[in-house]
Structure 1
Amino acid sequence: MHSSSLFSVLALAATALSAPNSHVQKRAQTVYLAGDSTMARAGGVTTGWGVYLPYSLTLPVINRAIGGRSSRSFTVEGRFNEIIAAVQPNDIVIIEFGHNDGGSLSRGDNGRSVCPGTGAETCRSTYNGQQVTVHTYSWYLTEAGKALIAKGAKVIMSSQTPNNPWESGRFLYGDGGRFVGYARDVAKALGPNAMFVDHGGYTASIFQSMGKAATDRLFPQDHTHTSPAGADVVSKAFVKGLQCAGGGFLEGFVKNSTESIPGTCL
């Protein structure tokens, strides 16, 4: 079954499943995380920021992020569908992709690269010897977001974390790349049950205030993946962005005050 069909089936089933009752109302909301290695738990010298987010929230957090995934592969592998099936009304799903979504389909399909565009554009590609239809980053996130909202969940679209902005010897961070804008636009299009956090911008702001030497120490392996200490900083940057936006769907559930987190509101 194609991913679009799976989303449609789950969305249609949502009418019966999303009706509130006393049991659901008494249940603690749950936060789900969907993302790549920068969010996922890892071993060795690096790990993702999702490991540290539970320390800032009073709600349970279930980290479904997994290394090497993009909006496309997370969809095709059925990982969004697993979250859609699990969520209940008022749960919150934080979605963050971008590191693995780029690349060119014409130079060989790695199963992660998305079709260029911002809407319903499609590309035909060959992956693992089979002809496949590839959608855009915005399409994958929009379909997931609509299905989650149909189940009664709230969605936070989070921009991808930056690579080490001090890597060149001086601080360099622009708008974070095209996927930042795409995530922002998807959240806006989904309506009042979705919001956007510029996680990349807030992380870069904290790295800038830390300086080159301190930031470099947080990237022990490459320019993308952080040490546990770095993951803690990146997690705090997400909370900073959340709090600077008034808390959003997590208002009242955040332990850290804005003032206790480095950086400024953007």
Structure 2
Amino acid sequence: MKSKLILLLTAFFLCSAFKADKSVITIFMIGDSTMSNKSLVGGNPERGWGHVLPGFFSEDIRVDNHAMNGRSSKSFIDEGRWDKVLSLIKKGDYVFIQFGHNDEKPKADRHTDPGTTFDANLRKFVNETRAKGGIPVLFNSIVRRNFGTADNKAVAEAILQDDIRKGINPDAKQDASQEKNVVEGDKLIDTHGAYLDSPRNVAKELNVPFIDMNKLTHDLVEGLGPKESKKLFMWVPANTIAAMPKGREDNTHLNIYGARVIAGITVDAIAKEVPELAKYVRHYDFVVAQDGSGDFFTVQEAINAVPDFRKNVRTTILVRKGVYKEKLIVPESKINISLIGQEGAVISYDDYANKQNLFGENKGTSGSSSCYIYAPDFYVENITFENTSGPVGQAVACFVSADRAYFKNCRFLGFQDTLYTYGKGVRQYYEDCYIEGTVDFIFGWSTAVFNRCHIHSKRDGYVTAPSTDEGQKYGYVFYDCKLTADANVKNVYLSRPWRPFAQAVFIHCDLGKHILPVGWHNWNKKDAEKTVFYAEYDSYGPGANPKARAAFSHQLKDTEGYEIESVLAGTDGWNPIANGNALVNIKR
């Protein structure tokens, strides 16, 4: 009997573990420099399209890029790089295969022939991927930006100059005079020849998805023309970037913008040819990433890039995993932004009220914030806002002065004065958020709804300190929230009035034992008891004690008038519950 019980418990824990683990599909990438990750040293702006690909998939997909500069299908195998990838593939993973640029080169350690050795290597990748339960996808090479005459000399010259730029043929010299005398035409000239056909032919032969990247990029580059197409490639003026002080004129390799554009059109082709991946594809206007896989390295750079007063459309920004130590400001002109974080995306700073600014003055409470949001219709999801200065007095994590601000699944971390709902007459909505602090850690003038939020006290103190203006219909409304505390915390009030007309209402909230029986504090302002509106409806948990509550507080008989859509409606009918982060339909 005992052994059966142990077996049952073991099975239970195993099942629980499997349920807890989030299934992640890995896309392995093998190829050359046009696909590979790049060094970021010296502000290097070069990117392979595979470097930026992670920003086009949800977190259910992990991109593991093994592409390497200068490699052909032959050298990738000979150097043991393929064996390494093969050892990592598990059932259901994908392998994206793109070679050709370096297979064309005459060097013995790289060269293969289309129709024979090149095709044989592609078959090897495909068959061995399938043997491991993986799913191969074949790509042909991206186009070189080669506008010129359709003769063999032009093709050979394009390849030679590509070699020189990559240092593969250091003995050759770039013919500057020839470069200057070349008159570019309107048509792109192919430099890959039959190397473009091998991936297509092997894909057809072995029934493998095939992405014609050459056609995708050919149409893109030729459509832009000789001048505009330079914006995609590594055309860098001298003395502008530390990584390449002499500048660069490179028609093969992509810059950040080019890699993002090409990855974007490629991922749509992938979704079409490999429909199983379509549901994971994401398109954002900008991506922020510390590993160089985005448009920018900081969130502030992305915010600054948003056009001022961009109306009737949202600008979407993905923030990839990382701690971004920056004092973020979203000005009023940057309207209609959606800021989406991957798991582990944190905006962090360490200012506090008594910290001095450059003039030797105290920064003050407002000046201490890690983030300032002024722009209306700002939507935020999966971002952590933190102030890491510790228990040093007022130290704001997020200062929100925006109307129709919507925070979903966000975290606000700090001690005193964590979340400052600053804006007068504005509305804010917090859904499934986590907010922690010590004293008055949710405070300010705004009308704010907290729906299904987790409110955590780190020390004895006060959860809220509203400063609701006289005549304002609503202050703070907490719906279905859970209030918890650190183990040693025993004396916490739901609220105290920063201003005399403070309002806070808790509706069907789970109150931990750290909430004092009296519930509410008058902040030693006896007159405020006559003007504040502090109320509860259907509180439960060990901290719920309606009979012992402060005499100036209320126990609501129903929630009429406190529906979320009523609290936030204002004059324009804003309803984030019904409409999500859609643009508000402003009545004029």
Q: Same fold by TM (over 0.5)?
A: yes
For 2:75 and 2:33, the matched residues in 1 are separated by: 13
Contact 1:154–1:249 (CA<8 Å) still a contact in 2? no
Decide whether aligned partners of structure 1 residues 173 and 234 sit closer, same or farther in structure 2, where only a CA change above 3 A counts: farther
Amino acid in the other structure paired with 2:218: A
Say if 2:236 is the partner of 1:208.
no
Decide whether aligned partners of structure 1 residues 176 and 32 sit closer, same or farther in structure 2, where only a CA change above 3 A counts: same
Give the one of 101, 118, 132 matched to 2:115. 118
Say if 2:281 is the partner of 1:254.
yes
In structure 1, what is the equivalent of residue 99 of structure 2?
A: 97
Moved over 4 A (4+): 173-176
In structure 2, what is the equivalent of residue 159 of structure 1?
A: 140
Q: Counting strand residues as a fraction of each chain, which structure ranks higher?
A: 2
For 2:95 and 2:137, the matched residues in 1 are separated by: 6
Decide whether aligned partners of structure 1 residues 201 and 255 sit closer, same or farther in structure 2, where only a CA change above 3 A counts: same
1:110 Cα deviation after fit: 3.8
Contact 1:92–1:155 (CA<8 Å) still a contact in 2? yes
Amino acid in the other structure paired with 2:206: L
Say if 2:77 is the partner of 1:50.
no
Q: Secondary structure at the match of 1:255?
A: coil
In structure 2, what is the equivalent of residue 262 of structure 1?
A: none
The superposition leaves residues 128-165 of structure 1 with CA deviations (integer Å, 9 ceiling, x where unpaired) of xxxxxxxx111111012101111110011011001014
For 1:249 and 1:72, the matched residues in 2 are separated by: 30
Give the one of 13, 17, 33 matched to 2:29. 33
Contact 2:73–2:122 (CA<8 Å) still a contact in 1? yes
For 1:255 and 1:181, the matched residues in 2 are separated by: 30
In structure 2, what is the equivalent of residue 10 of structure 1?
A: none
1:256 Cα deviation after fit: 3.7
For 2:189 and 2:275, the matched residues in 1 are separated by: 26
Amino acid in the other structure paired with 1:177: G
For 1:159 and 1:196, the matched residues in 2 are separated by: 8
In structure 2, what is the equivalent of residue 238 of structure 1?
A: 266
1:190 Cα deviation after fit: 2.2
Contact 2:232–2:258 (CA<8 Å) still a contact in 1? yes
Amino acid in the other structure paired with 2:265: A
1:232 Cα deviation after fit: 1.1
For 1:117 and 1:156, the matched residues in 2 are separated by: 18
The superposition leaves residues 95-132 of structure 1 with CA deviations (integer Å, 9 ceiling, x where unpaired) of 1000000134xxxx441011x3524xxxxxxxxxxxxx
For 1:208 and 1:52, the matched residues in 2 are separated by: 23
Amino acid in the other structure paired with 2:127: K
Runs of at least 5 residues in structure 2 that lack an aligned partner in the other structure? 1-16, 149-183, 236-247, 285-588
For 1:251 and 1:113, the matched residues in 2 are separated by: 35
Decide whether aligned partners of structure 1 residues 145 and 246 sit closer, same or farther in structure 2, where only a CA change above 3 A counts: closer
Q: Which moved more, 1:151-160 or 1:228-237?
A: 228-237
Contact 2:139–2:199 (CA<8 Å) still a contact in 1? yes
Give the one of 163, 173, 180 matched to 2:196. 180
For 1:117 and 1:55, the matched residues in 2 are separated by: 33
1:187 Cα deviation after fit: 1.5
Larger Rg: 2
The superposition leaves residues 155-199 of structure 1 with CA deviations (integer Å, 9 ceiling, x where unpaired) of 1101100101446332225595212210011112223xx210001
Contact 1:91–1:153 (CA<8 Å) still a contact in 2? yes
Paired residues in the alignment total 212
1:40 Cα deviation after fit: 0.8
Give the one of 60, 63, 67 matched to 2:62. 60
For 2:82 and 2:26, the matched residues in 1 are separated by: 16
Percent of aligned pairs sharing the same letter: 29
1:47 Cα deviation after fit: 1.7
Q: Which moved more, 1:70-79 or 1:164-173?
A: 164-173
The superposition leaves residues 35-74 of structure 1 with CA deviations (integer Å, 9 ceiling, x where unpaired) of 1111112232322111111111121101111100000000
Contact 2:209–2:274 (CA<8 Å) still a contact in 1? no
Say if 2:126 is the partner of 1:145.
yes
The superposition leaves residues 196-244 of structure 1 with CA deviations (integer Å, 9 ceiling, x where unpaired) of 000111111122332332211322131111111111122123123224x
For 1:227 and 1:77, the matched residues in 2 are separated by: 27
Q: Structure with the greater relative contact order (CA < 8 A, sep ≥ 6): 1 or 2?
A: 1
TM-score (norm 2): 0.34
Runs of at least 5 residues in structure 1 that lack an aligned partner in the other structure? 1-21, 120-135, 258-266
Say if 2:77 is the partner of 1:75.
yes
Contact 1:187–1:195 (CA<8 Å) still a contact in 2? yes
For 1:236 and 1:166, the matched residues in 2 are separated by: 24
Amino acid in the other structure paired with 1:203: T
1:29 Cα deviation after fit: 1.0
